Amino acid sequence: MDLTLYVWRQAGPAAPGRMVEYAARDINPDSSFLELLDVINERLAERGEDRIAFDHDCREGICGTCGFMINGEAHGPLRGTTVCQLHMRHFKDGEILRLEPWRARAFPVLKDLMVDRSAFDRVIEAGGFISVATGSAPEANQVAVPKPVADRAFEAAQCIGCGACVAQCPNGAAQLFTSAKVSHLGLLPQGQPERLARALAMVEAMEELGFGACSNFAECEAVCPKRISIDFIARMNRDYLKAKAQGTPGRA
């Protein structure tokens, strides 16, 4: 199949960027979107031109490294899928596709389709953990976790940190990502002692990092490759408001 691509090319963080047209000919419909870019890149490289930079690693939809916008949709048109698991058979021959990096103030573009998502790490560092030093853990079956609670925590824990939620959110908000971690740990008995302090610290870090405010647009949920539910956003808000109401001290 043949496709026309417009790809955002930007040489570096401070450089201006623009859309550049590429014709993709004879693309195998069984290849993945990243393999399509590989093919284009290989042709560019052999001509000595600069390849299109994009992040990727596992190519199995689990590491969260890949991701860009295809025609204004994070990870492209297929729901519950990362670009590395998006296959060309889902596009029509002759289609025009616009590829752009995640755009958000908290995610500066590094090059082409590659952005800096380290703000997510900062959010986790603010409190996205259970404080348990190696060696101090009790026997694993000492605390029973009701299966529904464990399953719910698992659903939240599935977030792969890809950033699609932020990219799609018209407000550049990181609510879905942050709430997934707040909920994963806040649901489990092991996470109870730090529950409110964690919500407080993570929300405050998130807001300081330049993410926007949530207007409950639910765009994030629609593009999340792990289909994380916005119910977790409500849960995070509740924990946060509760922490404020109880005067929970933040982390130092």
**CA–CA dist 56, 78 (Å, integer):** 18
Residue 1 binds other proteins, judged by CB under 8 A? no
Partner touching 225 among ligand HEM, ligand F3S, ligand SF4, none, CB below 5 to 8 Å by kind: ligand SF4
Minimal distance, residue 10 CB to ligand F3S, in Å: 25
In angstroms, what CA-CA distances link 207 with 106, 122, 211?
10, 11, 6
Partner touching 7 among ligand F3S, other proteins, ligand SF4, none, CB below 5 to 8 Å by kind: none
Residue pair 114/50 in contact by the 8 Å Cβ criterion: no
Nearest residue (CB) to ligand SF4, 119 versus 165: 165
Closest CA to 122 of 240, 179, 211, 205: 205
Q: Which residue is nearest to ligand HEM (CB)?
A: 215
Minimal distance, residue 235 CB to ligand F3S, in Å: 13
**CA–CA dist 183, 210 (Å, integer):** 22
Residue 62 binds ligand FES, judged by CB under 6 A? yes
**CA–CA dist 171, 146 (Å, integer):** 36
Does an H or E element contain 74, and which? strand 73-74
Nearest residue (CB) to ligand F3S, 96 versus 213: 213
Among 117, 182, 196, 228, binds other proteins (CB under 8 A): 117
Q: What are phi and psi of 196, to 5 degrees?
A: -75, -40
Residues 201-240 that bind ligand SF4 (CB under 6 A): 224-226, 228
Partner touching 57 among ligand FES, ligand F3S, ligand SF4, none, CB below 5 to 8 Å by kind: ligand FES
**CA–CA dist 120, 174 (Å, integer):** 9
Among 101, 128, 163, 186, binds ligand SF4 (CB under 6 A): 163
Binding site for ligand HEM (CB under 6 A): 215-216
